[in-house]
Amino acid sequence: MKQTTTIVFVGIGVVILAFIWLLWGPDSWEVQITGMTGDGREVQYRIETVYADTSDTLVFRNADAGFLPPYFKFDSADLQAQASRISRNCPQTPVKVHGYGMRIQFLDLFPNATAIDAPANCSEAPGNVGENPS
């Protein structure tokens, strides 16, 4: 009886952990970046987007996860700069934002962006015009 009870509780625990992982685990979204907010110190970085080919808004939090497994994210400022270049160079181009979490408005929760896949011409930093490469 005791062994059966333990197996049932372990099974329930595994189901709950799997459900949480599916809900809060890694995901990707096809969006167009429309703007950014925050300075990374006093105001948290945010990446403002709309779902590709719609007007439905999705705002991402862009915060370092530190040593929190499995993400180990330390480049939120770099990701913010990349998002800024994309919104300036290609505002109508859909990009894929990778991250984890979900948007829950009444709890003020946002998915955290971890990477952005965009065409090279959208995310490259502008070079010096007229300069010949060596």
Between CA 90 and CA 116 the distance in angstroms is 13
Between CA 125 and CA 103 the distance in angstroms is 30
Q: What is the pTM of this model?
A: 0.76
CB 112 within 8 A of CB 60: yes
Cis status, amide bond into 91, omega within 30 of 0: no
User: What is the tens place of the pLDDT at every residue in 9-40?
Assistant: 899 988 888 777 766 778 899 999 999 988 76
User: What is the tens place of the pLDDT at every residue in 80-91?
Assistant: 999 999 999 998
CA 23 to chain centre: 14
